[in-house]
Amino acid sequence: MKRIVVVCAALVLASCSARPESGGQEVASLSTPAGTSASAAPEEKRPRERLDMTPEDRDALLAPYLRCLTDHGVDKRVDPPPPQEVIDRANKACEPKRPLPAWELDATNPEATDFVHRVVQCLRQKGVRYVEVYREPDSEMVGLSYGGPNNDQESITLGLQHTKECQIEVSKK
């Protein structure tokens, strides 16, 4: 049985139609979730996604990483893909440019699982019957799994529709 698993916020962010208010690259940030402080996030050199990012914001954040991969011989638009050793070298070289997940979803954040549990509760209040916390072993983020054992289409649709809204709502509490 297949289940739809969203480990990356990209699917949810891609469905967002909000536009940044200013023409520049600046965007407002969310306050940190209750119980954490801004200093709770480790100092990092890699860029970090935010829950309130628009698809355009995410594309801008991801652009240096994708450009680095291309410069190292990996272009995801080209078929067939390059040999695995080329991909491995490019991934290693470009790692410092690969965006980290939003701190609220980062597996290194000790409060991430609790945050995602609260998002699940919010989604259930919005009618999503089959949704659960999901974490792939060795994944950098805690995510959601929609649809349950029977791949319930209504849960998948509603879950994708309301996830970003619930993430932002929960982050403000």
3-class state of residue 66 by DSSP: helix
Which one-letter amino acid corresponds to residue 50? R
Q: CB of 14 within 8 A of CB of 159?
A: no
The whole-angstrom separation of Cα 10 and Cα 119 is 16
pLDDT tens for 72-125 read 999 888 888 999 999 999 999 999 999 999 999 999 999 999 999 999 999 999
Exposed (0-12), middle (13-18) or buried (19+): which is 16, by Cβ within 10 Å? middle
- In the chain, domain spans: 1-16+101-173, 61-97
In degrees, rounded to 5, the angle at the alpha carbon of residue 87 between the alpha carbons of residues 82 and 90 is 125
What would the two tokens of residue 148 be? 């349950």
CA-CA-CA-CA dihedral for 151, 154, 160, 163, to nearest 10: -110
Rg of the Cα atoms in the chain: 17
Give the confidence band of 66 by pLDDT, cuts at 50, 70, 90: very high
- Cα(first)–Cα(last) distance of the chain, in Å? 36
What would the two tokens of residue 116 be? 């995602």
CB atoms within 10 A of CB 155: 22
Q: DSSP assignment, residue 146?
A: E
Question: Which secondary structure element, helix H or strand E, spans residue 67, and what is its range?
Answer: helix 55-71
pLDDT tens for 122-172 read 999 999 999 999 999 889 999 999 999 999 999 999 999 999 999 999 999
